[in-house]
Structure 1
Amino acid sequence: MTLANWMILAAALLPYLAAVVAKAGAAGFDNSAPRAWMEQQGGYRQRADWAQRNHFEAFPPFAAAVILAQMASAPQERIDLLALAFVLLRLAYTGAYLANLATLRSLLFGLGIGCVVWLFLLPL
């Protein structure tokens, strides 16, 4: 299994990491209605939930880009590097989201999408 394939797994788990941050140790967490409870949260918990949602949105194009680049026999070292960069940028994105650093978060988001686009273009 390549590093890029491991990064697909890591990216698939990122939403759940954000969910743990949003819910862990929270007073009054209601597991019978977690979405309704989450909508009442503010601060870093709310931002962690928003990051979770964004991770779910960013994952499909990333996974598709890695798989297609590998199927097209693009250089594996470059695929691995871009996949690793994407996951590291998404971790930093989560940190910026939690810290309420909107401009940095947007920059990190853009760089991550740049990795995805590059992966799609790599076989050319």
Structure 2
Amino acid sequence: MTIPYVCILFSLLLIYINRIPVSLATAKEKGGTDNHYPRDQQVRLTGFGKRALGAHLNSLEAFPIFAIGVLVSGFNDADDTFMTYISVAFVLIRILYSIFYLTDRTRLRSVAWTIGLVLSVSLYLLPFYS
């Protein structure tokens, strides 16, 4: 069961990894990063910066659904092998999701988002089928 918990950590790290391009985009803005009102500046981003912000925010939204799903499965003695496969698949699909978001691959991004959601929800259902 260690690998699913490590996947929670990787999923958490993806939130902050996805924040890096946002920081780079705001630094390129006229006057650099506005530390007084960074959120106001982020809302004004366009193109790559705006997509990077979207990827970052979506990572924040996806994290609790996945992390709690792993805990629910773990506390209810779900099959460790399936938990591991689902958890690793989730992290990999979220990496692809971020890449698709940053490179403006809208359809692929939507497919990856849907797969990630299905994987997260399956963790809640896994104890019933183990």
The alignment's TM-score, normalised by the length of structure 2, stands at 0.90
- Measure how far apart 1:18 and its partner are: 1.1
Question: What is the distance in 1 between the residues matched to 2:54 and 2:120?
Answer: 21
Unaligned runs of 5+ in 2: none
Secondary structure of the corresponding residue to residue 77 of structure 2 = coil
Amino acid at match of 2:22: A
Superposition deviation, residue 10 in structure 1: 1.0
**Structure 1 position 47 matched with structure 2 position 51:** yes
Match of 2:69 in 1: 65
Q: Does 1:87 align with 2:91?
A: yes
Q: Deviations over 1:16-61 (max 9, x none)?
A: 1111111126321112221111112111111110111111111111
Root-mean-square deviation (Å): 1.3
Distance 2:42 2:77 in 1: 43
Q: Give the count of matched residue pairs.
A: 124
Measure, in 2, the Cα distance between the counterparts of 1:123 and 1:40: 44
2:109 corresponds to 1:111? no
Q: Secondary structure at the match of 2:92?
A: helix
Q: 3-state DSSP class of the match of 1:122? A: helix
Stretches (4+) displaced over 3 A: none
Percent of residue pairs bearing the same amino acid type: 35
- In 2, the alpha carbon distance for the partners of 1:36 and 1:103 equals 29
Please state if 1:78 is matched with 2:82: yes
Written as runs of structure 1 = structure 2, the 5 A alignment for 1:4-43 is: 4-24=4-24, 26-27=27-28, 28-43=32-47
Q: Which runs of 5+ in 1 are unaligned?
A: none
Distance in 2 of aligned mates of 1:47 and 1:12:
19
